[in-house]
Amino acid sequence: MSTLGNNIKRLGFPQGKHKRCLENSCYELNTYTETLTITSKGEIRSFYWKDKAPQLIEKWGEEKARRFGILFAYLFVTTFFILILVYALLDLFEFLENAFWCFVLAAVGAIIYFGSLSRQYTDAAAYHKSSRCKKCNRDFALEEFKDPLITEVSTLDKYKIARTKYWKCKFCGTEDYRTEELDYNNHKGKKSKQKEDTCRICEKEFAMSEYRDPDVKKVDNVETTVRHYKCSNCGFQEITIEKGIIEEINIQ
């Protein structure tokens, strides 16, 4: 695995509590508590079978729909591993080559079918649970009415990411919000071996250095690393935001 095409941005912060915005994110650094808060807007996401969810829940109920989702996921994984196993043993069944390829086509079709059903039932159950209005007690009543807020909080030893969604009932108008922690493989990385640099504020040589572990997250194939620097002379701080494409490399 390697990181390609790093794109590096730099933001500076004097002592105190200051906020800087760059592209679609805002960075607020409190130098007294050593806390960096990054906020950005997420996207309102739907799913393909959203319109069919009420019919599924009415027929099976939320708990059965969730169980069906797990069952079809199990069948999806089982069929996939059977296909891999049969393919690995192909040499033992050369005389059944035509039957083998018929089996492959059937297995691939089953994998797509089971995967689709698993997603459909799982999404329907999750949608039913999250869209029930607590005030008017109606199912499928809540809809997201504005983009969710993504909040990243970095301290000296922790790096957490959370998402807040904003809901509104289409029947009684009640507004609500819910916050959940996200897992973007976010963790503390390791400081680089880069030598101390000159502070661009007080211009003292060898005073600017990376003073704490960086914050690392991976969304799809994009890895983002935020590094923290501080001047040992005047206390000026800055961060760099490094974004790179993650590429898997197969070594033969």
pLDDT per position as a tens digit, 15-67: 888 899 988 899 999 988 999 999 999 998 877 778 889 999 989 999 999 99
Torsion angle of alpha carbons 123, 124, 129, 133, nearest 10°? 120
Query: What's 71's DSSP letter?
Result: H
pLDDT tier for residue 94 given thresholds of 50, 70 and 90: low
Cβ atoms 4, 247 nearer than 8 A: yes
Who wins on pLDDT, 171 or 5? Answer: 171
Mean pLDDT value of segment 73-86: 91
Are 114 and 107 in contact by the 8 Å Cβ rule? The answer is no
User: Is residue 4's pLDDT more than 70?
Assistant: no
Task: Write a three-state SS string for 185-225.
Answer: CCEECCCCCCCCECCCCCCCCCCEEEEEEEEEEEECCEEEE
Q: Distance of CA 3 to CAs 125, 210, 225, 243, 249, Å?
A: 38, 21, 11, 9, 10
pTM for the model? 0.77
Q: Which of 223, 159, 180 is nearest to 7 (CA)?
A: 223
For the ranges 2-11, 185-194, 202-211, 223-232, which has the lowest average pLDDT? 2-11
What residue ranges do the domains of the chain occupy?
Answer: 2-41+142-247, 50-130
Q: In 3-state terms, what secondary structure has residue 14?
A: coil
pLDDT at 96 over 90: no
CA dist 25 → 15, 80, 85, 215 (Å): 21, 40, 47, 15
Q: What average pLDDT does range 86-109 have in this prediction?
A: 77
152 token code pair: 């990243």
Task: Answer whether 160's CB lies under 8 Å from 186's CB.
Answer: yes
> Across residues 159-179, what is the average pLDDT?
95
